[in-house]
Amino acid sequence: MKWRPSFFLCCLLFSAAIGTPEAGEKFTIAQVHYGGGGDWYGDATTIKNWLHLLRTRTDIETDEERVILKLTDHILYHYPMLYLVGHGNVRLTESEVEILRDYLMNGGFLFANDDYGLDESFRREMRRVFPNQELQPIPNTHLIYRCFYELEGLPKIHEHDGEPAQGFGLFHDGRMVVYYVYSADIGDGLEDADVHPEDTPRVRELAAKMAVNIAVYALTH
């Protein structure tokens, strides 16, 4: 039988570092509004559908819509999980670099989805956040691929340039704090079906399972 986390447990696990949500507040995923000219606003329906998956497939109580914020917003620490997406350039200010580092070192989690074209700038900015380490490949045996659904590894949702789907991570005190997917595009697989009609139901289901695993992992580690 698959383990099914409760939202109450998730809040307890996260509260030691980030802080327990206020009474009545439900889990949501905050999408990062970054600078640099990249399309940070992409995947407009992804988080809404992702939250629906969590409500219907797990015991996690969620809100219904995404939150959009800048890293400098004072409400950042209300959100245990951030989503960063785009096709283009990512550029963080010095203040944002310091804030993101503090957020991640104190319990936060960042999931970054390369929509195709994000890779170079994202890697550059992560070197600024954690200058003493590089994004490292996440093996198919990692818990993120089996913490709720048993997956064989990161599924490939869109072809892009045909490279295999690759997952990378950054760590603090043994905990993966950044999970970055390249040439996979989990976010596009979560959008409304008419946004990417070429995605088959099988492919969309793989994206759904991976998305559930990512959120469960973020809330329990």
Residues 116-143 pLDDT 10s: 999 999 999 999 999 999 999 999 999 9
17, part of any domain: yes
Quick one: average pLDDT of 196-216?
A: 94
Q: Up-side HSE of residue 162: CA atoms within 13 Å toward CB?
A: 0
Is residue 23's pLDDT more than 80? no
Residue 59 is assigned to a structural domain of this protein: yes
Containing domain of residue 42, as a range? Answer: 7-220
Give the residue among 149, 144, 109 at the shortest CA–CA distance from 3.
149
Mean pLDDT, to the nearest integer, of 149-161? 90
pTM (predicted TM-score)? 0.89
Does residue 1 sit within a domain? no
Domain membership of residue 141 (yes or no) is yes
Count of structural domains within the chain: 1
156 part of a folded domain: yes
Residue 114 belongs to what H/E stretch? strand 109-114
In a domain, 2, yes or no: no
- Look at residue 185 and tell me if it is in a domain: yes
pLDDT, tens digit, 9 for 90 and up, residues 36-57 = 999 999 999 999 999 999 999 9
For residues 54 and 152, give the distance between their C-alpha atoms in angstroms, rounded to a whole number.
21
In a domain, residue 11? The reply is yes
Instruction: Please write the tens of the pLDDT for every residue from 49-79.
Output: 999 999 999 999 999 999 999 999 999 999 9
15: pLDDT strictly greater than 90: no
pLDDT, residue 9, reads: 42
CATH of the domain at 66: 3.40.50.12140
Q: Percentage of the chain with pLDDT > 90?
A: 83
Average pLDDT over all residues of the chain: 89
